Amino acid sequence: MGRVTLRTPVTRITDTRQSTRPDTVVVEEPLEIRVNGTPLA
């Protein structure tokens, strides 16, 4: 499994201004559902 979190810029927008700051977000692997070893589309 790769990284669990990622540091990325996040922009906050209000009625009067916009600001950008770094934030930590969760990184998820794509979900793959398998039945008897065969992936479902």
Output helix, strand, coil percentages for the chain, rounded to the nearest 5.
0, 55, 45
- Residue carrying the six token digits 């479902």: 40
Average pLDDT by stretches of 10, the chain with 41 residues: 87 97 92 92 75
3: in domain:
yes
Residue 3, domain extent: 1-27
16: in domain:
yes
32: in domain:
no
Q: How many domains does the chain have?
A: 1
34: in domain:
no
pTM over 0.75: no
Among candidate residues 19, 34, 1, the one with its CA nearest the CA of residue 10: 19
